[in-house]
Structure 1
Amino acid sequence: MYPDFSWLSTMLDSLKHCRFAFLVALVLVVLLADRAADAQVIPEEAYGPYNAIFLPDGLGLIKPLASPLSLDPRYRGPQPPDPLTAGAAQWTLTFWFQPAEPLSGITLLAGFGDPAGDDARFIGVDNNHLGLWLGNALGSAHLLTGTTPMGQAEWHFAAAVCDGRHVTLYADGVALAAWPSMQGTIAAQIEIAPAAQPSLGSQMLSAKQPSQPVLITKHFGGRIAALEIYREPLNADQIKAMFDAPPDFSLPTYEEASPRWGVQTRGQAGMSEPQDPSTLPRGKAPFQKPVALPLTKADLRDEMVGDDPWTLRGGWWLDPAPRVKANGDEIAKDGFDDKDWLVATVPGTVLTTMVDRGIYPDPDYGLNNMAIPESLAHQDYWYRVEFKSPAAARGRRLTLNFLGVNYATEVWLNGKKLGAFLRGTFDVTGLVNDSGENALAVLVSPPPHAGIPEEESLTAGPGEDGGVEVLDGPTFAASEGWDWIPSIRDRNTGIWQDVTLTASGPVQIGDLNVVTVLPKPDHSEADIEIDAPLTNVTKTPVEGELSAAFDNIKVTRHVRLAPGENDVRLGPAEFAQLKVQHPRLWWPNGYGDPALHKLHTTFTVGQSVSSTRQIEFGMREVSYELSLLDSTGHLHRVEVLPSRTYNEGLPLIDVSHKGIREIDDQTPNTCPHPARSRRRAGPRERGCRPSIRARWHRPPSGPWKAAGPVPIL
């Protein structure tokens, strides 16, 4: 009899079923794991990622919601709208945001469509609750929000998901609430940090429908990172996965929504080639004939006009440098032969002399400017004068002063080269002959970037606004030609201001500055401050008396000056008489009499007058208003009073490229503007001047201090 092994067969059959069941379970686990993994895979975004930084009172960003390109490259017809604009579209919007300051009231963060339209898709914050704005069609002046307020995190994650029927809002990876989606077509644009509402469209709607609630929002200030739009609804697991894996916020390059003032790389370049002859102006009359002015004795005779300073008036001679074979040492000697030179008009330009001497016709009439050669702006010129030293200057310290020369100059006196300069002074003590003649030679060079001339005409138009001569400074930039003037042929080259000689003792008085403050609204009082720079030219301290007098007022201070430059200020805090009662003010044209006052200053050492200086000045205080951003990016209307700040020597306004920002300044009386900026044009194209970040301000009362600007309401 054989043993019964049926139980073994039954057990093996059971094991086979268990193995099969295990394999089935394993497959199910793998499938479920794959499905879970697939549920967390993030699809490719349709738009983004966008990273930008915003000023609280600056601009937002508008990006196009462009239609997909046609698959057929031969198609040239109108492109269909992006399917995302359809009312029943499925979509997802996600981004991170970091406010620059606590958010209050209602602030729209980002979305797509027009926030002022009937239908829109935006995420915002409503009294510390993340919310949705789906357009004016909902008839509400608030966002759709959940009940859970936002946390205290530095960065927050926001998401909105639409499956075509409902919109679900997520805050920091958690679903807050869902609402039905019943929308029409939206505008084809993405807006990040939209402009504050109500917009012009909302205002017009409110005017037509007074009962229609209007959304009132603030502009977002801070950073928005990794903004993306998807063409499908993401699920809760995908949203949670995005929140659990935040980006490194230090890595992106954030777009400046309010751009800083860029470095200018082109513009005002002027003509790049000679003007097309067919566009030159034409006239039926010929050019006028040159007419020489009759020479007077004053033109031919050198004379020291005035009394310290003395002005070198008359006796000047001019010749183009290419015609002169001698050098500066020879020209600056008594008796140099200049009989073939032109009698020069000083102060005046080279062209002024040539018109006065009958070389060329007056360019101010008709088309005479075209009868003058362009070569005048491409050569140097020699000026020469001989003069006798005033008797009162003998034995004193002498300074030769050139008050204005265009463009550059080299100077020789009595055979010795003094140096080169644009506007300068020279110590000529010991170089000026006390008796006999002194010979002064001046080599003047035109601006190095003269540019190419242009003549306005009906065919050529008004002309360029300057050109490369701007590189040589702003003073004579228009001489290359502007929209109101053709090119000046010599580019205003010459000695265009006086040349003077001053005498002094051990202390010299420099350029005086008189500052007026009108502290009372009725202008019945003027505070006068006199700033007198004093230079002690010796190597030891000097004591003396500084006196200043104007009208019937005179003040004097005893000072001790260290060697070198010193600055002395005389003000009403020290001298009560400088608080002028019922002053005669300097008024602009049409407002009153432009009264001027003569200020005489004297520095006396012992019983000897060391230096004198006099100027005319007007009593007036100038202020102006402009829009400034404070250090937090908030815009203010600020009144600037330069006369009340120069004492501190503080920079009132940051005018660096970094400090100037483009904004949509809607301050009244600044410039025309749309209620909402619809484009990102440059400041020049927009017609507004960019705002400037402020560093310092004057409070309503008390001393000046570093802070944000005070708004002028």
Structure 2
Amino acid sequence: MSRVPRELLPVSDEHPRPQLTREHWTNLNGLWQFAVDEGDIGRREGWHRDPAVFDREILVPFPPESELSGIVEDGLDVVWYRKAVRLSGSENSTRFILHFEAVDYSAEVWVNGQYLGGHEGGQTRFSFDITDALVDGPEQIIVLRAHDDHSDLEQPRGKQDWMPDPHVIWYRRTTGIWRTVWLEELSERHIASVVWLPMASPGSVEVEVRFGGPSGPELELELSFSADGAALARSSHSVTAGVLRATVHLEDQRLHAEPEELCWSPEHPRLIDVVLRLRSDGDLIDEARSYLGLRTVGADDRAFLLNGRPYFLRLVLEQGYWPKTHLASPSEVDLKREVELIKSLGFNGIRMHQVVADPRFLYWCDRLGLLV
């Protein structure tokens, strides 16, 4: 039986990838069915089709070794997760994408008994288009198998210990799901990713946008930039391939007279909001939101340069480990509080240590002002 207090269910309204958010998505964190595969027999015996073997509950995204997971057991090399979900698509949704932000170390995924694929790497996100695996009816069944061999010393592990009890500088292990699981509803052709690169020229930004879905007629991408509700630029671009690269020039008198008013720094963490709209024959088929900071970094023979000026770095080592949840952050509040505490101690930046930072943590660094 589960030992998880239901008031602790970690289902947040905050989007897990702040630099490309949409209205229609579903957080799948919370209680999942759980099973330990001590003899590694689950694949051979078809556990992905057998709900009876899932005799426990775990609180996702906390790893089973952690206190808040409700399992609190170590030495689990193979574990299975199962969850029934309900889908309700928006008007333009034709594809459903299942995202795992992190599973340690290797994972395999089934939906309604259909194998979708696997992933290796405990720190990197992965996704599957589950649309063709969906069935008629109110529920869809997601099953994940995670394999994390604690005795394999060649497996990348960061600061996780390979011994039953942590020793010297090592931390307790993190197995299985340890970051948000979520579903996203997308149109057939959609914005897949966006990367911003501020240039040395004030207000000039290079952008790279990648698109998902099959090739088809020419699309149009509209970018709208604003700061504190005031429009800075709007540009329109023809999309004829899977990748669009362009340069946008923002217009605001402050960029020339008082650039510090719009440029990002730890002391003045000003962010620029962006709305991306993808159209086909004038019809809106995808809309997403993003943000960026106008800042440049570099170095000369004497100093680190931020926005073209010498800047003294005061950095602290960020381990990204939490006593009750291990590598998984306890909550959005804790991520924000971590940044606030670092700044209150007088630091202006961090060095991430043997862990890939949670995108929500990076968001609060951007929003509150920390170099990473």
Give the TM-score of the pair, scaled to structure 1. Answer: 0.35
Give the match for residue 210 of structure 2: 533
SS in 1 for 2:246: strand
Partner Cα separation in structure 2 for residue 387 and residue 449 of structure 1: 34
Q: Which 5+ residue runs of structure 1 have no aligned equivalent?
A: 1-290, 361-371, 452-467, 520-524, 626-636, 645-713
Give the match for residue 26 of structure 1: none
User: Equivalent of 1:546, from 215, 218, 222?
Assistant: 222
Q: CA deviation at 1:326?
A: 5.2
Partner Cα separation in structure 1 for residue 92 and residue 217 of structure 2: 24
Give the match for residue 264 of structure 2: 586
Partner Cα separation in structure 2 for residue 411 and residue 505 of structure 1: 23
Q: CA deviation at 1:559?
A: 0.9
Contact 2:204 2:247 in 1 (8 A): no
Is residue 2:239 matched to residue 1:560? yes
Q: CA deviation at 1:383?
A: 1.4
Is residue 2:46 matched to residue 1:317? no
Q: Write 1 or 2 for the structure with the bigger share of strand.
A: 2
Q: CA deviation at 1:556?
A: 3.2
Contact 1:585 1:619 in 2 (8 A): yes
Distance change in 2, residues 1:349/1:617 (3 Å): farther
Give the match for residue 364 of structure 2: none
Distance change in 2, residues 1:639/1:593 (3 Å): closer
Partner Cα separation in structure 1 for residue 265 and residue 14 of structure 2: 34
Q: CA deviation at 1:397?
A: 2.2
Partner Cα separation in structure 2 for residue 328 and residue 311 of structure 1: 31
Alignment-mate amino acid for residue 110 of structure 2: W
Q: CA deviation at 1:430?
A: 2.7
Contact 1:411 1:418 in 2 (8 A): yes
Q: CA deviation at 1:606?
A: 2.7
SS in 2 for 1:502: strand
Partner Cα separation in structure 2 for residue 510 and residue 606 of structure 1: 20
User: Equivalent of 2:59, from 313, 330, 345?
Assistant: 345
Is residue 2:7 matched to residue 1:296? yes
Contact 2:32 2:60 in 1 (8 A): yes
User: Equivalent of 2:160, from 467, 479, 485?
Assistant: 479
Q: CA deviation at 1:527?
A: 2.7
Q: How many residues align?
A: 288
Q: CA deviation at 1:410?
A: 0.5
State how 1:351-390 maps to structure 2 within 5 Å. 351-352=65-66, 355-356=67-68, 359-360=71-72, 373=74, 375-376=75-76, 379-390=77-88
Contact 2:255 2:262 in 1 (8 A): no
Distance change in 2, residues 1:558/1:622 (3 Å): closer
Q: CA deviation at 1:297?
A: 8.4
Distance change in 2, residues 1:309/1:359 (3 Å): closer
Distance change in 2, residues 1:320/1:406 (3 Å): same
Partner Cα separation in structure 2 for residue 415 and residue 578 of structure 1: 59
Q: Percent identity?
A: 18
Distance change in 2, residues 1:577/1:303 (3 Å): closer
SS in 1 for 2:160: helix
Give the match for residue 611 of structure 1: 286
Distance change in 2, residues 1:407/1:357 (3 Å): closer
Partner Cα separation in structure 2 for residue 329 and residue 393 of structure 1: 40
Give the match for residue 513 of structure 1: 195
State how 1:349-498 maps to structure 2 within 5 Å. 349-352=63-66, 355-356=67-68, 359-360=71-72, 373=74, 375-376=75-76, 379-392=77-90, 396-422=94-120, 423-433=125-135, 435-446=137-148, 450-451=152-153, 468-469=154-155, 472=156, 476-480=157-161, 485-488=169-172, 491-498=173-180
Give the match for residue 317 of structure 2: none
Contact 2:31 2:59 in 1 (8 A): no
Larger radius of gyration: 1
Per-residue CA deviation, residues 42-75 of structure 1 (Å, 9 max, x unaligned), is: xxxxxxxxxxxxxxxxxxxxxxxxxxxxxxxxxx
Partner Cα separation in structure 1 for residue 180 and residue 220 of structure 2: 30
Per-residue CA deviation, residues 218-247 of structure 1 (Å, 9 max, x unaligned), is: xxxxxxxxxxxxxxxxxxxxxxxxxxxxxx
